Structure 1
Amino acid sequence: MRTIVAACLAAAVACLGFTGGPPEAVAADASAHAADTLHVAPDGRGSACSDRNPCSLETARDRARSLVPQAPGDVVVELDGGTYRLTAPFRLGVQNSGRPGHPVVYRAAAGQTPVLSGATRITGFARVDAAKNIYRAKVPAGITSRELFVDGKRADRARGTRNPSGFSVTATGFTTADASYTAWTNPAQAEVVHNSGWKQMRCPLASITRSAHGGSDLTVDPGCWNNNHNAVPNPSFPFNGAGLPSMDGITWLENAYQLLGTPGQFYLDEGAGHLYYVPRAGENLATADVELPVAPELVDASGTPGHLAPVNDTDWRATYTGNWGYSGGRHLGDLNADVHYTAGNGDAVSYTFTGAGIQVLSETNSDEGTADAYIDGKKVSTVSGDGPERLAQQVMVSVTGLPKGKHTLRLVKTGGSYLLVDGFTVIPDVVAPVHDIVFSGLTFAYTTWNAPSAEGYVDNQAGVLWDPATRTPIRIPAAVQVHRGKRISFSGDVVQHTGTSGIDLADQTQDSTIEDSSVTDTSGSGVLVGEVDDYYQTDAALMTSGNTVSGNTVRFPGQEYQDAVGVWVGHSRATTVSHNDVGYTPYSGMSIGWGWGWASNCTLQAKQGLPDPCLHGTTYAGGNKILGNHVHSVMGALFDGGPIYTLGGQSAPSEFAGNVLSECIDGCNMIYHDEGSSMWNTHDNVVRFANGSLWTNLWTPSIHDDSIHDNYSDTASYNNSGTDITFEQATVVTDGNWPPAARAIIDAAGPGTLPGRTVDDDDLRISYTGSWSSSGSRSYGDLDNGVHYAQHDGAAATITFTGTGISFLTETNSDEGDIAVTLDGHSKETVSANTPQRHAQQSVYTVSNLPAGTHTLTLTKAGGDYLLVDGFTLD
């Protein structure tokens, strides 16, 4: 935009005759501005990167790098419309950065829709099973994928009956009296899926054999079975809580040819190179766009260093000299529950590493003393572990800015009772973020993540997993990843149809934004900010901070991994999540924070009934703002979450205000400040259609020092068992009669009017008066799989819209009745939704050719058992 404005102003000045210099100077200046816009196309080639001779995306990236130092403004890479098929991510490093105030801008050409795709298109389908309507196509050799999309709609991997009966747990998996499973081909490609509480667990099978009783023994991959059943990872605070759901049942079986038969399901036989699919009604595989994702990532913008995580005090590079002791199994919050310690002045630890910095984790306590820190034989600081209370995993030494190379840290005890060493964090490279890059108007689509096919899915919570080998925290990868970024901006972009998460601002990314964008239909989470294992950081350059997620639409996350959420924020400082629309989630809508009771002191942990001595440390998270979001239709598959869920402590006051939280499907708490949540100012939120849930739940004493006031709710139920909570009961509203202050919150929430002609029943433009309820995950073919319904005559639904026409969508059925229609204050007619059989998404009232402008339609229940609102279409 800056380049366009600058060009227009320059042209205007030239037209008026004020050139500011001789003609040749003006021509040179114009040429320089033109050179700062590079043009690319899906079939671009050469190095001209001009409008008439566009180049490839990679060539433009390299050209942009050379232009940045002398560019008078932004350097723009303009993408023509079409599909850019990627087999590897488009990579941007520090060298591809812009300048503060003048970024490198990757944007769509005017009126164009460039799509960065990680899929290969599949053609050549032929029917191979008429009875089950199964079609088959050849795929390129060696392709692996867990996803398929047909005409932009996700297909499911072939799956069996939900919650199949007759299975019992064995030492190696499951057994059943049903012998038919032994006929499955490629059993090692099949997968068992189990939902329990807030977790989804997945494991591949190792084999299926006939049992001693003539049935089928399903042997689960041993490593995955160990992680998900026998020995579920449990390091406790700050990495996970006390609940440990395990794989002790089957929610469904997945990915076997013998399970095919349901329209919209597929099976990829990787060994044979065949893709099988059962088309949905109306799909013509001869003309359909069938996309098989093969790339795990589309964009990777990475600074240095990458991910930082501490290694234990037992690391082989650590050399302890003097009279050191070792204490294992302390359960005091130490990294890996162990430490090295010494009481002798002059005792030392040396650690030789290759990198540009190092941090040493210790413990603060009243019996900790002082030490001198040396780098390569030169003293750099005197440090102390003395403190009024025991705090685990504290940064005692932090050294950055070293020349990259081999260095030796030496830490020598000089005073006090003890020197304790808990771990080391090596900073392998200089701290240099990738910075000042903008992505605008681009579409990112079609990725896959194949690791679970081999290793399983070892869930912790909210899309945070355990690495199957190291049992340390990892996350579902994202289609668009930023690692250690600064001033990276996404504006007006679309991320859709991914086998991964959507956009991830990872590894202490700072001052970056995701705004006015759409993230929808992701296997993992929609938008992510921050990390789970950097809680201990004291260096501001190594913290996630200053990021903004605003004005976005995030819908249908967790379409494969159902523990995933719409927006996830880990440890973070001064992050703003505002005016987003987040909905249709299998678990929570937003998950904010991490650490459980880690930052709550030992007194509060004891009041909760946790073990003494306690696991207690610190977090840098704080100063965060969760404002004006509309979060709706949540908890469609799992339990114990909510529209917006907070976890762990805040080190500085944070704000939770102006949010509209609606339509809990099951297992919900509407405002859910979970374990350890602290210092939240929670006010002026609206809770509606809680469906029996508490409007707020502060269930345990480790939740502390929160202020809950001036909220509005259509349910009075709550739980306040926190400590030092300033609590005020919500203003309880009945029959949708929201007071003006609440109505103003509803009107201001979310990103504003959503694009498109379709308005779902959850849309904030619809006002429900009278007694209404909501129902989600009905699987009856509803628009977005949910409805609002009323059972009392006189209940009304009103929508104010801008346009020339509208159609009302409902369900027709034998228990539906008459509906009185009023348009712009005038009674129009009474329509009926009564039919002998159930039909979803039926238009029972349509009006067109209205004067262009704002109109109001009201639908009032006038008879029958139910009035059901499924949505509207606008003209």
Structure 2
Amino acid sequence: MPENSTVENSTVENQAAENQFHVAPWGRDSWPGTLDQPFATLPAAQRAVRAGTAAMRADLVVNLHAGRHVLTEPVELRADAGDSGQHGHRVVYQAYGHGTPDRAAAVLSGGRAITGWQPGDVDGVWLAEVGDLTTRQLYVNGHRAPRAALHPGIPGRVTKTATGYVTDSTVPQGWRNPTGIEFVFQGVYPWSEARCGVAAISGDEHSSTITMVQPGFERALGLYAAEWHGEIPNGGEIPNGIEIPAGGGTVAFDGLAAPSSAENSTSFLTEPGTFVLDRSNPGRHVLHYLPLPGEDPTESEIIAPVLEKLVVGKGTAEHPLHDVVLRGLTFAHAGWDRPSGPGGFLHYHGNAYYGGGPLQRVEIAEGMGHVSVPGAAVLVPSNVEFSSAERIALLDNTFVHLGAGALAFSGGGADNAVIGNVVEDVSGGGIAVNTGNGVRIERNLIHHIGREYRGSPAVWVSDSRETTVARNEIHDVPYSGVVIAGGDNAARVQVVENLIHHTMTVLADGGGIYLSGPQGASFASGTVVRGNVIRDTITSYNFGLYTDYGASWVTVQGNIVHRGDTPIVLRVTPPLENVVFLGNFWDDWPQDVEHPPAGVTLAGNTVLPKDDFDRALAADPAGADILAGAGRGDARRTR
């Protein structure tokens, strides 16, 4: 899709009125969908679109007027139902007035307003009955209210058992609604965070026994089984602070030894602005909310997600969905309830988690240890998803207050564009490409994602060809900024001129940009990482620009890495093959730089002083050019 594509540059201002439909919260579906008599709902507008696509002579445009457009079911865009553009034209869903200063604030919401709040028996806590609602998120006056939590997760001296935990503290026996509690295991592997539910709590005057929900806990015991061993002459440390004594030894890394926190009991409801959902009475669930100072729940907008999908675009390999544009819209208030189920949420890596089935043992390095990995990992879903789709464009939208990932493409497809969007306050990842050709991810702002599933990257690209990740700004994410997972079909991926900062704010063993596995079959078809600025990779044990796990056919050229634990890594298992680091700027030499492994080439890289990095960079013409070119620039130019 060339830079001057009609996806970005065409306008609809001069199209005839018969090609325009309007939707407004105050409209009626019995009206004709004109500016003066708009439809009330998107399904009504979609029916009008489907009736007109076969005879299209121009773009068909659906204008959403200001307000909250509440969806009672996901918007399904289907190739077999007439939702694709035809005859070289497109179907466009846009905020009314898009491209003008008067653009409407149109929100597609999968949520439900929570009303009927009453003061509870506990001072300051308010209650609302919500029927069978099973939300994991709550949004109060436009802000995410966290679930009430306890740190650490279990008080006292804790011992892990085959079915849960025993502690010498009797405090857990007094926790209210124990079957609603969820334990969080931050850093269960250094790059992962897991969630498992509590089934029961019992005990006596000396100790408490906590029994965990199955099969989630049993699966966790199998997945998070790791061991490091070997000889470290002067003593040392491996990820997550596990020490190996001088002379070597064997250490079983146990990320399940005790939870880092516990969530969702009214006993934990002590922090203003937090909530709990009590599901102990089936069909009569109760939300408990402790307001912020000065906040009155009866006068506040409080929204809980109901839907798990907002938009689903579907085609097939033979008949893909195609030529659809979504622009200027806000997608909000969708959830994902599976982690609350008996399987919990057993994160493995990036967008992948373990849902059961065979496990495989993988050696970390020869003679140094092993981890377990899923035989078939499952991908975290997104609240807006497209599969087998071509020439789909998402432009200038906002994805906010979401309980899964924001946006994903899967099932093949080609020539899709994600340009100029904002992704923020999302429980999972930002933008994901799970196979597909020619996807452009450009000039987006992605920040404060991974709010619940902290191993989620801002951008995830797996097994994709000719995907471009360019000129985005990514910041304040708990794990890696961009993950390129490679794969058998991966080829010609470009990660260029992105500004990535404040990544790895929670977990370890990741980077601002992370690549793993085969990235092509030659340098011509491999991945290019060029012109990116990576700063402030926060936690210990990270690499600002991380080529890992047998990455091959990668060109890393003209990037800036500053304030990371280590700028790059050269020795990994399996080893790097055909990886070139050329003309980069960083603030420290990587380990083994004088004797790099056989599969790595380093040339023309420059180390600048940590404490005077910016001045030294600005004084170097090449470094100054890289710095000036990274980031979104004027990201919201005419689309």
Please classify the TM superposition score into its range, dividing by the shorter chain length: 0.7 to 0.9
Aligned to 1:157, the other structure's residue is in SS state coil
**Distance in 1 (alpha carbons) for counterparts of 2:354 and 2:257:** 18
The aligned residue for residue 34 of structure 2 is 50
2:218 to 221, 226, 232: 226
TM-score with structure 1 setting the length:
0.61
Kept in 1: contact 2:570–2:576 (CA 8 A): no
Aligned equivalent of 2:295: 283
TM-aligned CA deviation for residue 529 of structure 1: 0.5
Maintained 8 Å contact 1:670/1:696:
no
Question: Alpha carbons of 1:685 and 1:698: their partners in 2 closer, same or farther (altered >3 Å)?
Answer: farther
Say which SS state the counterpart of residue 544 (structure 2) adopts.
strand
2:623 matched to which residue of 1?
742
SS in 2 for 1:458: strand
Counterpart selection for 1:250 from 252, 259, 280: 259
Could you say what secondary structure the match of 2:50 adopts? helix
Given that residues 458 and 468 in structure 1 are in contact (C-alpha distance below 8 angstroms), is that contact kept between their aligned partners in structure 2? no
Residue 570 (structure 1) aligns with:
462
Match for residue 683 of structure 1? 557
The corresponding residue for 1:765 is: none
Whole-angstrom CA distance in 2 between matches of 1:100 and 1:522: 37
Conserved 8 A contact 2:444-2:635: no
Q: How many residues align?
A: 558
Say which SS state the counterpart of residue 297 (structure 1) adopts: coil
Post-superposition CA distance 1:566-614 (Å, at most 9, x none):
011111000000000111111111111145xxxxxxxxxxxxxxxxxxx
Farther-moved stretch of structure 1 (68-77 vs 513-522): 68-77
Residues 273/521 of structure 1: CA separation in 2 closer, same or farther (3 Å cut):
same
* 3-state SS in 2 of match to 1:42: coil
Alpha-carbon contact 1:437-1:488 (below 8 Å) kept: yes
2:527 to 654, 659, 665: 654
Unaligned runs of 5+ in 2: 1-8, 98-102, 227-251, 359-373
Q: 1: distance between equivalents of 2:414 and 2:254?
A: 35
Give the equivalent residue in structure 1 for 2:583. Answer: 710
Provide TM-score, normalisation by structure 2: 0.83
Amino acid at match of 1:170: T
- For residues 665 and 282 of structure 1, the distance between their equivalents in structure 2, rounded to whole angstroms, comes to 35
Match of residue 514 from structure 2:
645
The one-letter code sitting in structure 2 at the alignment partner of 1:284 is: D
Change (3 A) 1:215 1:593: same
Aligned position for 2:446: 554
Partner of 1:117: 109
User: Which residue does 1:665 correspond to in 2?
Assistant: 538
Matches within 5 A, 1:177-188: 177-188=168-179
1:250-306: CA deviation from partner (whole Å, max 9, x where unpaired): 1111111111111121001233432111122343323221111111110001112xx
2:58 to 53, 73, 81: 73
Structure 2: distance between partners of 1:100 and 1:695: 49
Deviations 1:618-657 (A, max 9, x none): x110101000001110111111000000011012222100
Partners of 1:520 and 1:244 in 2: CA distance: 34
CA distance in 2: counterparts of 1:663 and 1:102, whole angstroms: 44
Shift in Å, 1:6: 4.3
CA distance, structure 2, for counterparts of residue 294 and residue 223 of structure 1: 26
Mapped to 2, the partners of 1:669 and 1:187 lie a distance apart of: 40
**Residue 106 (str. 1) matches residue 93 (str. 2):** yes
2:443/2:631 contact within 8 Å kept: yes
C-alpha change, 1:198 and 1:506, in structure 2 (3 Å) is: same
Identical-pair percentage? 30
For residues 142 and 250 of structure 1, the distance between their equivalents in structure 2, rounded to whole angstroms, comes to: 28
Which of 261, 264, 273 is 1:264 aligned to?
Answer: 273
Cα distance change, pair 182–594 in 1 and its aligned pair in 2 (3 A): farther
After TM superposition, give the deviation of residue 177 of structure 1 in Å. Answer: 1.4
Q: How far has the Cα of 1:86 moved from its partner?
A: 1.6
Alpha-carbon distance change, 695 to 469 in structure 1, aligned in 2, over 3 angstroms: closer
Q: Structure 1 residues 730 and 231, CA, compared in 2 at 3 Å: closer, same or farther? A: closer
2:378 to 460, 464, 474: 474
Which of 433, 441, 452 is residue 320 of structure 2 equivalent to? 433
User: What is the one-letter code of the residue matched to 1:72?
Assistant: R
Could you tell me how far apart the structure 1 residues matched to 2:542 and 2:221 are?
26
SS at match of 2:393: strand
Task: State the distance in 2 between where 1:500 and 1:520 align.
Answer: 12
1:702 Cα deviation from its structure 2 partner:
2.4
Determine the structure 2 residue equivalent to 1:170.
Answer: 161
1:200 aligns with 2:190: no
Q: Which residue of 1 aligns with 2:12?
A: 4
The alpha-carbon distance between structure 1 residues 264 and 149, as it changes in their structure 2 partners (threshold 3 A), is same
Deviation of 1:186 after TM superposition, in Å, equals 2.5
Q: Deviations over 1:297-345 (max 9, x none)?
A: 10001112xxxxxxxxxxxxxxxxxxxxxxxxxxxxxxxxxxxxxxxxx
Q: Secondary structure at the match of 2:345?
A: coil
Shift of 1:709: 0.6
Cα distance in 1 for residues equivalent to 2:166 and 2:486: 38
Matched letter for residue 659 of structure 1: N
Q: Cα gap change, 1:156/1:524 in structure 2, threshold over 3 Å: closer, same or farther? A: same
Q: CA 1:458 to 1:700, structure 2 compared with 1: closer, same or farther past 3 Å?
A: closer
1:443 pairs with one of 325, 330, 339 = 330
Can you give the 5+ residue segments of structure 1 that lack an aligned partner in the other structure? 8-32, 235-242, 305-429, 532-543, 596-618, 756-875
Amino acid at match of 1:726: T
Aligned to 2:3: none
Whole-angstrom distance in 1 between the partners of 2:85 and 2:336: 31
Q: Matched residues in 2 for 1:505 and 1:560: separation?
A: 22
Residue equivalent to 2:74: 89
Question: Aligned match of 2:46 in 61, 69, 81?
Answer: 61
- 1:106 maps to a residue whose letter is Y
Between 1 and 2, higher relative CO (CA 8 Å, sep ≥ 6) is seen in: 2
Letter in 1 for 2:12: I
- Deviation sequence 1:447-487 (CA, Å, 0-9, x none): 11111111200211012112246863222211111111111
- 1:502 matched to 2:409? The reply is no
Query: For residues 308-327 of structure 1, what are the structure 2 equivalents within 5 Å?
Result: none
Whether contact under 8 Å (2:420, 2:443) holds in the other structure is yes
Q: How does 1:364-379 map to 2 (within 5 A)?
A: none
For 1:437 and 1:107, locate their aligned partners in 2 and report how far apart those are by CA, in whole Å: 11
Give me the whole-angstrom Cα distance separating, in 1, the residues matched to 2:604 and 2:514: 19
Match of 1:39 in 2: 22
Mean Cα deviation higher: 88-97 or 735-744: 735-744
Matched, 1:623 2:527: no
Distance 2:259 2:577 in 1: 38
The aligned counterpart of 1:591 is: 483
| SS of residue paired to 2:386 | strand
Contact 2:443 2:635 in 1 (8 A): no
**How far apart are 1:2 and its partner, in Å?**
4.1
Counterpart of 1:646 in 2: which secondary structure? strand
> What are the within-5 Å matches in structure 2 for residues 397-546 of structure 1?
431-454=318-341, 455-468=343-356, 472-531=376-435, 544-546=436-438
Rate the CA distance shift 1:253–1:143 in 2: closer, same or farther, 3 A: same
CA contact (8 A) 2:570 2:597 kept: no
Q: 2:203 matched to which residue of 1?
A: 210
Deviation string, structure 1 residues 647-672 (Cα, Å, up to 9, x no partner): 11012222100000010111310110
Name the aligned partner's letter for residue 588 of structure 2.
Answer: T
Tell me the CA shift for residue 441 of structure 1: 0.2
Q: Secondary structure at the match of 1:559?
A: coil
Q: Partner residue of 1:146?
A: 136
Q: Distance in 2 between matches of 1:526 and 1:118?
A: 18
Hey, what's the Cα distance between the residues in 2 that align with 1:474 and 1:722? Answer: 34
Q: Say whether 1:135 aligns with 2:126.
A: yes
Distance in 2 (alpha carbons) for counterparts of 1:190 and 1:101:
53
Cα distance change of structure 1 residues 627 and 268 upon mapping to structure 2, 3 Å threshold: same
Alignment partners' CA distance in 2, 1:664 and 1:150: 31
Moved more, 85-94 or 494-503: 85-94
